[in-house]
Amino acid sequence: MFSTITKSFIIGRKSSLQFYKMKIARAVTEGGIYSISTTGSSTILKRNLKTLTNKEHTKSEDIKFEYLAGEREGVAVIAMNRPQAKNAISLNLVSMFEEALHTVKFDKSLRVLIIRSLVPGVFCAGADLKERAKMSESEVGPFVARLRGMSMEIHDLPVPTIAVLDGAAMGGGLELALACDLRVAASSAKMGLVETKLAIIPGAGGTQRLPRVVGPSVAKELIFTGRIIDGNQAHNIGLINHVVEQNQAGDAAYHKALELAEEIVPQGPVALRMAKLAINKGIEVDLNSGLSYEQAFYAQVIPTKDRIEGLQAFREKRPPCYKGE
């Protein structure tokens, strides 16, 4: 059966005409259907996409996707919104997530991607165990492989990614956050790779990414015990980059992530892509091989227009205007 995904692209009035032309042109190319509406100071462009899923699902927006505007132009947000199941990872949620990732992967105007939850107190509860219980043994393996592939898609995105943990991130939810470049959490947020309590192991990258972030010994202890820790403990072991006290609205970590995104956006886009590649590739090999990666990726920024713009802006004592070229 088919389920409908709605994407909202939020833009400022100043650049709306150019934005419409770009998105409508893409609609013609891809066969999508767009509708435009205006509310307050923002214009919302919505696209309805039909996505094939393995089973019939209710037509709900488990994922909401938007581009931010104004001072935050260049930032996109993928937000999980499945409150009835605490954002548990279902077939439908994965299909929507994959579609959103496909969109941002090829968007050259994107500078930072934020992944968050719209469900109060929860980032992601992990696998949808009710749905998983209905799967046959032959279905479980391919589905977990699909989750693993989705986490690699996040890991390999050509822009910095930030996971926002304003609430609980368990099992596959924490694995989703580990696939991101940076993680921000509220001090009250609970997180853990709890799979061994269900007689399974983390299957979406947790056994590989957690040791790379906190070290093998700490990762083994957390996975062997299935221990759940809070934001402060996670920060102490280096699992998250920043910890903040939760606010009344329950979105303190999201606001911190926006601050980080605002710091990243002005930097050279090509330089950001090359720096991410150099780090991701280099950390997997010995130092000499890593330095060779650094040399190769540095060579990619030398002929760019942005590098010349950076030098000119420095001489003229003005902010640079990078175009990703």
Catalytic site positions: 127, 172, 175, 195
CA-to-CA distance for 43 and 20, rounded, in angstroms?
Answer: 10
The C-alpha atoms of residue 34 and residue 2 are separated, in whole angstroms, by 18
- Cα–Cα–Cα angle for 308, 103, 68, rounded to 5 degrees: 70
Burial class (CB in 10 A: 0-12, 13-18, 19+), 58: exposed
Structure tokens at 207: 């056994």
Residue 55 has a CB neighbour count (10 Å cut-off) of: 12
How are the residues of the chain apportioned to helix, strand and coil, as percentages rounded to the nearest 5?
45, 20, 30
- What is the distance between the alpha carbons of residues 39 and 261, in angstroms, rounded to a whole number? 25
**Is residue 196 within 8 Å of 223, Cβ to Cβ?**
yes
Judged by DSSP in three states, 64 sits in strand
Q: Which amino acid is at 235?
A: H
